[in-house]
Amino acid sequence: MDIHKALEEKGVEIERTAIKLDKPLKRSGKSEVEIKLHADVTATLTVTVETEEKAAPKTKEDAPPASEA
């Protein structure tokens, strides 16, 4: 999920171009992201990137089939 979409889902409306990233966030962990709200106003958000396994617990349907003996 991208940062802009996640903020919209939380009711935060900003322009996508207000999110200032030097490069895409590709590693799991916490990163600080600058949001340009106005010419003289910026905010810093802490964004946590998780792998899909951590973000959504696996269900039985997602589990690999058990090996037969």
CA nearest neighbour of 26 among 53, 4, 54, 50: 50
- The one-letter code for the residue type at 50 is E
| Residue whose token pair is 């962990």 | 29
The more confident residue out of 63 and 47 is 47
pLDDT beyond 90 at 66: no
Helix (H, G, I), strand (E, B) or coil at 9: helix
| pTM score, whole prediction | 0.61
pLDDT at site 17: 92
Alpha-carbon span 28 to 10, nearest angstrom = 21
pLDDT at site 53: 72
> For residue range 3-59, what is the model confidence (pLDDT) as tens digits?
899 899 999 999 999 999 888 888 889 999 999 999 899 999 999 988 877 555 555
